[in-house]
Amino acid sequence: MSLANKLAEERRARLAAQRLLEQKQAELQAANRKLGKHAMRLSDEIVSTRAEVETVRDENRRVKSDLTVANQKVEIAERRLWHSIQTFQDGFAVFDADSLLIAANHAWLSVFDGLEAVRPGIRYVEILQILTDEGIVDIGETDPAQWRERMLDRWQGNDPSPEVIRLWNGAYIKLIDERGQDGDVVNLALNITDTIRYEKELKEARRRAEDSSRAKSSFLANMSHEIRTPMNGVVGMAELLMETGLTTEQRLYADTIRNSGEALLVIINDVLDYSKIEAGKLVLHQEPFDLERAVLELVMLMQANARSKGLDLLVDYDMFLPSRFTGDPGRIRQVLTNLMGNAMKFTSEGHVLVRVVGMPGDAGDPGKTARLHITVEDTGIGIASDKIQHIFGEFNQVEDAQNRKFEGTGLGLAISKKLVTLMGGDIWVESIEGRGSSFGIALSLPVEAPLDPELLRLPPGIGRALIVEPHDTSRAILEKQLGVLGLETVACASAAEALERLEGVDLVLSDHHMQAMDGMELAEALREGGHEMPVILLSASTGSAEQDPARRFVQAVMQKPVSRPDLFAALQSVAPGVSAKAAEPRTMRVLAAEDNRTNRLVFSKMVQALDIELEFAEDGAQAVALFRSFRPDIVFMDISMPGMDGKEATTRIRDIEDSGDGGHVPVVAMTAHAMDGDEAGILDAGLDHYLTKPLRKDAILSHIRDARPEGVRPPEAEVQSDGGRRNTGLSGEDIAAT
């Protein structure tokens, strides 16, 4: 090969190598560029990772610092908590689920008096063993093994009940254990020694208080009896003295004696009742009773006082309301007596009205409860608005204490409120000063018997009635009562007006005492004018009406205020074709057992106007003997008599009746005892009724009237010349005592 060819080939090779070198250099530069970019990305990632790592390290350092602080706080809290537990005067201990002691404070450990065995790790059963073996716990005569077994059974229960143990030094410890969800038990040992001592002191104080209360009750009972016995003579004789011929001055003296005695009895009753209520000793005696009759009896008892003040006593008893209920009639009468007595005390003119209604929807079926509203309304002085809120407080009165014109204890309304509350009722008052007051009570009482619908049925032949009544309220009550019965009514305020309005009248109901022309004169004028319609006279004093020569012109005389049964009976009696009843053949026989001569005299004078046969017994034995021979229709029995007392005598009388020797005869207790429990004890002995001394004439006459058997002459029939009694039973000494 030529040199030129070799040089050309070498040049080509060198050019090829140069081009290859340039290519490799270009590839190397491209690789370097890629490597540089990758190195930059790695550098960025390293920087980021380093930042994150530093952040984590900072967080770890912060968390570690917080944990250190938290641990320190926990340690401080635990230390403070345990320090607090150590300062407890009561014991505190913690046991694990295996009943191993974990920890206990000083108070808990001090019970064991430094015994080294009692420390964390000891079992509960071992602690029980130490308590009995070392005599730390006083278990009395109980067997130690039995005591430990009982305590262990209690400990193992899911909810251990508290246990009181007594230590050797007389201290009392109450153990309270609380088991947790994991089985751990927290044990509290409370030192209740002071509490036990206080309880013993309280029991002793209660015993002394009860002894004192019994002594006070006994004193009040004796005081009540000792005062009532002579007061029976004082008030009774003063009342009888008022019925004799006296000068004006003598009548004033006798009336003062009677009023003062009755005022003293009111004070005694208020104090006794209030003390019984405050002591929680007053017990309600539930029994069937006639509410309408109870209201009318109270009105009758107060009629004399009302007449002396010129007041009208009115009763408005819902015509469709039952009268037989179950409740405590004595306490209901007491409340109504307080309300009516207050109304009369603070009323100088006008009237006092007792209104009895039933709430709408009340059923009249036996056993169902009726809601009753009884209000006592008066036209008296009223009550100032700023004093109404205090009227039921103890010792509160309407008048100022420095210048009051109305006497009293100020306990009547307070006692009434407590009694009504005790019966589950409400009491309230509405009043306008200068115009009058209205006191009301609401009671829920079971119905004993529904009202007989036949009583509301009018007899044939009566369709239009003429009412002659000067008192507006009384006239409105009669209009309403006759209206609901279906009668058409014509109302007049005077007899003169009545004589001008007789057209179409089938019946005349007239008040007795009216100005210008009274009811009897009206009846006589009607007959002289040729009018034959029946006339029913309404009188507050039926005795004087019955003795009036014009009585023959009147078909019936009714006592004011009129009871519904009397009104129904009178309407039936004057109906066409109704004949009068035949006279009863014999008089009533009354036996009274009373050892006190003055009380026998008072009793005989109270019933001297009655058409009865009266016998006296001076002790229980005589009463039983006379019961066999005299065969009385009613017995009035003194309770405190020498030898055989009234309870034993009544028991003997009931034995006589049980032997078949005669039917049941009412026995009425006469006693000066008036404490709680006396009435129940007396009635349990077989007596039917209970009268406290001083005896009230109206109450005695009421019981005699109620006891009249069929076929016996009414006790208040026309009196015979000898007083209507074959034998008064009074000795010469009794007569001389007059």
Most confident by average pLDDT, 39-43, 342-346, 439-443, 652-656: 439-443
Indicate the length of the chain as a whole number. Answer: 738
On whether residue 390 sits in a domain, the answer given is yes
| Mean pLDDT to the nearest integer, 625-651 | 90
> With 50 as the cut, is the pLDDT of residue 400 above it?
no
Q: Cα-flanking dihedrals φ and ψ of residue 430, to 5°?
A: -125, 135
The answer as to whether 71 is a domain residue is yes
Query: Looking at residue 104, which CATH number applies to its domain?
Result: 3.30.450.20
The residues, ordered by sequence, that sit 6+ positions from 370 with a Cβ below 8 Å of its Cβ are: 321, 322, 325, 358, 359, 362, 363, 364, 444, 445, 446, 447
635 and 551, same structural domain?
A: no
Alpha-carbon dihedral 152, 153, 159, 162, rounded to 10 degrees: -60
User: Which residues have CB under 8 Å from 41's CB, separation 6+?
Assistant: none
Residue where one domain finishes, among candidates 134, 159, 191: 191
Token pair for 21:
């070198």
Residue 107 lies in a domain: yes
> Distance between CA atoms of 377 and 641, rounded to whole angstroms?
43
Pairing of β 185-191 and β 137-138: unpaired
Residue 434 and residue 301 share a domain: yes
For the chain, the distance separating the N- and C-terminal CA atoms, rounded to the nearest angstrom, is: 198
3-class DSSP state of 103? strand
- Point out the least confidently predicted range of 110-119, 384-393, 408-417, 483-492: 408-417
Q: Give the model's confidence band at 737: pLDDT under 50 very low, under 70 low, under 90 confident, else very high.
A: very low
Paired strand residues for 274:
none
Q: What is the mean pLDDT of residues 7-20?
A: 85
Least confident range from 356-370, 399-413, 552-566, 628-642: namely: 399-413
| Stretch (H or E) spanning 236 | helix 193-242
Q: Could you say which of 545, 573, 601 is where a domain stops?
A: 573
Check pLDDT > 90 for residue 713: no
Q: What is the mean pLDDT of the chain?
A: 82
473-509 per-position pLDDT tens digit? 999 999 999 998 888 999 999 999 999 999 999 999 9
479, 560: one domain:
yes
Spatial CA neighbour of 381 closest among 364, 363, 359, 405: 405
Are residues 551 and 690 both part of a single domain?
no
Band of the pLDDT at 174, cuts 50, 70, 90? very high
Half-sphere exposure of 339 (CA within 13 A, CB side): 31
pLDDT at 224: 63
Q: Residue 180 half-sphere exposure, CB side, CA atoms within 13 Å? A: 12
446 against 89, higher pLDDT: 446
291-305, 315-329, 671-685 — most confident range = 315-329
- At 101 the pLDDT is 92
Average pLDDT over residues 378-383: 92
**Residue 218 domain-assigned (yes or no):** no
205 found inside a domain: no
**Strand partners for 616:** 592
Query: DSSP secondary-structure letter at 406?
Result: S
Query: Nearest Cα to 189, choosing from 177, 179, 178, 175?
Result: 175
The CATH number linked to 537 is 3.40.50.2300
Co-location of 287 and 401 in the same domain: yes
CATH number of the domain where residue 380 is located: 3.30.565.10
613 with 682, same domain: the answer is yes
HSE value, Cβ hemisphere, 13 Å, CA-based, for 466:
27
Question: Which amino acid, residue 611?
Answer: D
- Decide: helix, strand or coil at residue 412: helix
Does residue 734 register a pLDDT over 70? no
Cα–Cα distance list, 670 to 600, 687, 692, 695 (Å): 12, 10, 6, 8
Residues 364, 298 share a domain: yes
Kindly state the helix (H) or strand (E) to which residue 635 belongs, with its residue range. Answer: strand 634-638
The answer to whether the bond into 694 is cis (omega within 30° of 0) is yes
Last residue of some domain: 396, 422, 449?
449
99 φ, ψ to 5°?
65, 30
Complete DSSP assignment for 34-94: HHHHHHHHHHHHHHHHHHHHHHHHHHHHHHHHHHHHHHHHHHHHHHHHHHHHHH-SSEEEE
Domain check: are 687 and 728 in the same one?
yes
Q: Are strands 163-167 and 137-138 parallel, antiparallel or unpaired?
A: antiparallel
Is residue 575 within 8 A of residue 459, CB to CB? The reply is yes
- Specify the number of domains making up the chain: 5
Q: According to the model, what pLDDT value does residue 673 have? A: 66
In sequence order, which ranges of 243-357 are alpha helices (DSSP H)? 248-278, 291-309, 329-345
Q: Are strands 351-358 and 369-378 parallel, antiparallel or unpaired?
A: antiparallel
Confidence at residue 404, expressed as pLDDT on a 0 to 100 scale: 47
Q: Do 346 and 485 reside in the same domain of the chain?
A: no
Percent of the chain with pLDDT over 70: 86
Q: Is the pTM of this model over 0.85?
A: no
With contact defined as beta carbons under 8 Å apart, do 191 and 172 qualify? yes
For 682-733, the DSSP string reads HHHTT--EEEESSP-HHHHHHHHHHTPPTTB--TTSPPPTTTT-S-----HH
Q: Measure the CA angle with vertex 185, ends 184 and 186; round to 5°.
A: 130
Q: What percent of the chain has pLDDT over 90?
A: 29
Q: Which of 166-180, 396-410, 646-660, 716-730 has the lowest mean pLDDT?
A: 716-730
Q: How many CB atoms lie within 10 A of CB 42?
A: 10
Give dist(CA 634, CA 603) in Å, integer. 14
* One domain for residues 308 and 427: yes
Asked whether residue 277 is assigned to any structural domain, the reply reads no
Residue 93 CB neighbour total at 10 angstroms: 23
Q: Residue 300: inside a domain, yes or no? A: yes
Residue 74's domain spans which residues? 1-80
Residue 130 lies in a domain: yes
Confidence of residue 443 (pLDDT cuts 50, 70, 90): very high
CA 520 from centroid of its chain's CA atoms: 48
3-state secondary structure of 215: helix
- In this structure, are 492 and 413 located in the same domain? no
pLDDT of residue 149: 92
Q: How far is CA 439 from the centre of its chain?
A: 18
pLDDT score, position 549: 83
Same domain, 626 and 689: yes
pLDDT, position 535:
94
pLDDT for 410 equals 61
Phi/psi-derived region of residue 395, left when phi > 0, alpha when psi is between -120 and 50, beta in every other case: left
Mean pLDDT for 358-387 is 80
644-662 residue pLDDT tens: 999 999 999 988 888 776 6
- Cα–Cα distance, 281 to 377 (Å, whole number): 32
Taking the C-alpha atoms of residue 612 and residue 614, their distance in angstroms, rounded to an integer, is: 6
